[in-house]
C-alpha cells in the first residue's frame, strides 16, 4: 500500500445528540487508489462520507470521537468550505443537480473552491470525459436524464480539481449500460489524473471490479477489509453482495436472508 492520503481513526458520529450511527470506524485510503465502501442500507456508508466532507452539521450530526486526518491536516468537524478547499469533494447520493441552472452553469459552480481562476480548460476536460454533456450544455439540468445528471455531478466535482473524490452510489437507478460507462470513466479519471476515489456502492460487483481496496460496513462498524481481489473471493462477500453461493449458483434471496441471520460478523 502506498502513501496514506486519508486516515479515519476510530470515529463516532451522533445525530441530534442521541442517535449513534458510526461506532468507531477506522479506515485508511492510499494515495491514488480507488477504495470502495460496501454495506447494506443503513450500515453508515453515507454517514462516513459526510463525516469526512463536513456535511453532517446541516443534518444535526457531529463527529463525537476519533480523528480524521487528510494530508496531515485534522479535518474533523471542520466547515465544508474548509474541507473542500483541502481537496476533498463529495458527490452526493441521488444526483443533486441545480435544477434551474444550465449544465454549463452547474459545472461552473464546481469552481467554487478557487473562485476567479480560469476554468475554460477544465470545462474542456470534463466535456472530453463526458461527450454526452456537450450538446446539452445550454439545457436546464432539471430537464436532463438520470444518466446525464450522474455525468454532470461527477463532472461538476472534477471541476474542483479534487485530490480525493468521494462518490456516493453513482449507479443508483441507472440502466446497466450507463452504469458500465460511468465506471469506465471513474477508472479513467483515476488513472489519468491520479485522483484518489472513495466509492460507496450497493452494486458490489461493479465496485470491486474497479476498486483496488475495499471495506465492508455493517451497523456503523467496519467488519471486513481487504484488497478488491480478496473481497471478491471471500465466500461471505460473495453470498451477501454478489449473490453467489460457494458452488457458483445464485442463491434465492430467501436463503441468503436466513443464512445471514445465522451468520453475522458481529
Partner 1 sequence: MEFFLQLLVNGVCIGLLYGISAMGFVMIFKASSVLNFAHGELLALGAFFFLSLVTWGKIPVAAAFLLTLIGCFVLGVLIEKFFLRPLIGEKLIFVIMLTVGLAAMFKGLILLVWGGNLHTYPEFLPASLEFHLGSIYIAPVYSATLVISVVFLVLFGLFFKKSSQGIFMRSVADNQKAALSLGVHVRRVFALSWAIAAMVACMSGIVLGIINGVNVHDLSAIGLKVFPVVILGGLDSIGGAIIGGIIIGLLETFTGGYLSPSLRDVVPYIVLVFILMVKPYGLFGLVEIERV
Given the complex with partner 1, which of 166 and 231 has the nearer CB atom?
A: 166
Measured distance CA(6)–CA(73) in Å, rounded: 9
User: Is residue 90 close enough to count as binding partner 1 by CB under 8 A?
Assistant: yes
| Helix count and strand count (H, E) for the chain | 10, 10
Q: Which helix (H) or strand (E) holds 38?
A: strand 34-39
Alpha-carbon span 161 to 220, nearest angstrom: 30
Return the residues of window 42-61 that contact partner 1 according to CB under 8 A. Answer: 53, 55, 58
What SS3 class is residue 160?
coil
Among 16, 18, 72, 116, binds partner 1 (CB under 8 A): 116
The rounded distance, in Å, linking the Cα atoms of 246 and 37 is: 23
Interaction of residue 255 with partner 1, rule CB under 8 A: no
Q: Site size for partner 1, by CB under 8 A?
A: 32
Should residue 99 be labelled a site residue for partner 1 when binding is judged by CB under 8 A?
A: yes
| Buried/exposed code over 159-174 (b: 16+ C-beta within 10 A; e: otherwise) | bbbbbbbbbbbbbeeb
Q: Does residue 8 touch partner 1 according to CB under 8 A?
A: no
Q: Which CB sits closer to partner 1, 173 or 176?
A: 173
To the nearest whole angstrom, how small is the minimum distance from the Cβ of residue 263 to partner 1?
Answer: 37
Question: End-to-end alpha-carbon separation of the chain, Å?
Answer: 27
Locate 220 and state its grid cell.
456503523
What is the spatial distance between Cα 21 and Cα 2, in angstroms, rounded to a whole number? 30
10 Å Cβ neighbour count for 87? 18
Report if residue 151 touches partner 1, rule: CB under 8 A. Answer: no
Cβ-based nearer residue to partner 1, 149 or 208: 149
- Which residue in the set 39, 44, 110, 170 belongs to the binding site for partner 1 (CB under 8 A)? 110
111 binds partner 1 (CB under 8 A): yes
Q: How far apart are CA 92 and CA 232, in angstroms?
A: 26
Q: Is 80 in the site for partner 1 (CB under 8 A)?
A: yes
Question: How many CB atoms lie under 10 A from the CB of residue 82?
Answer: 12
Work out which of 156, 174, 212, 218 binds partner 1, going by CB under 8 A.
Answer: 156
Which of 23, 108, 187, 193 forms a contact with partner 1 (CB under 8 A)? Answer: 108
Q: Is residue 15 involved in binding partner 1 (CB under 8 A)? A: no
Give yes or no for residue 161 binding partner 1 (CB under 8 A): no
Nearer to partner 1, 38 or 152 (CB): 152
Task: Say which DSSP state 140 is in.
Answer: B
- Pick the binder of partner 1 from 5, 27, 103, 160 (CB under 8 A): 160
Contact 106, 148 (CB under 8 A): no
Q: Which is nearer to partner 1, 53 or 208 (CB)?
A: 53
Binding site residues, partner 1, CB under 8 A = 53, 55, 58, 80-81, 83-85, 89-92, 96-101, 105-106, 108-113, 115-116, 153, 156-157, 160
Amino acid at each position: 500500500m502506498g502513501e496514506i492520503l486519508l486516515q479515519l481513526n476510530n470515529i463516532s458520529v451522533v445525530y441530534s445528540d442521541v442517535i449513534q450511527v458510526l461506532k468507531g470506524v477506522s479506515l485508511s485510503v492510499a494515495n491514488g487508489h480507488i477504495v470502495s465502501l460496501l454495506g447494506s442500507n443503513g450500515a453508515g456508508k453515507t454517514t462516513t462520507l459526510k463525516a469526512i466532507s463536513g456535511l453532517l452539521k446541516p443534518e444535526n450530526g457531529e463527529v463525537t470521537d476519533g480523528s480524521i486526518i487528510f494530508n496531515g491536516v485534522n479535518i474533523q468537524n471542520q466547515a465544508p468550505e474548509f474541507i473542500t478547499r483541502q481537496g476533498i469533494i463529495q458527490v452526493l447520493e441521488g444526483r443533486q443537480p441545480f435544477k434551474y441552472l444550465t449544465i454549463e452553469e452547474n459545472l461552473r459552480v464546481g469552481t467554487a473552491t478557487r473562485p476567479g481562476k480560469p476554468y475554460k480548460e477544465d470545462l474542456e476536460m470534463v466535456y472530453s470525459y463526458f461527450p454526452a454533456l456537450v450538446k446539452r450544455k445550454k439545457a436546464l439540468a432539471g430537464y436532463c436524464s438520470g444518466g446525464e445528471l450522474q455525468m454532470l455531478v461527477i463532472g461538476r466535482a472534477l471541476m474542483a480539481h479534487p485530490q480525493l473524490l468521494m462518490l456516493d452510489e453513482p449507479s443508483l437507478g441507472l440502466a446497466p449500460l450507463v452504469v458500465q460507462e460511468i465506471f469506465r470513466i471513474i477508472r479513467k479519471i483515476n488513472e489519468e489524473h491520479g485522483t484518489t476515489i472513495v466509492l460507496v456502492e450497493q452494486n458490489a460487483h461493479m465496485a470491486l471490479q474497479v476498486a483496488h481496496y475495499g471495506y465492508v460496513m455493517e451497523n456503523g462498524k467496519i467488519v471486513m477489509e481487504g484488497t478488491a481481489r480478496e473481497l471478491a473471493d471471500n465466500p461471505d462477500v460473495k453470498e451477501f453482495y454478489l449473490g453467489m453461493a460457494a458452488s457458483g449458483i445464485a442463491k434465492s434471496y430467501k436463503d441468503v436472508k436466513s443464512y445471514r441471520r445465522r451468520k453475522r460478523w458481529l
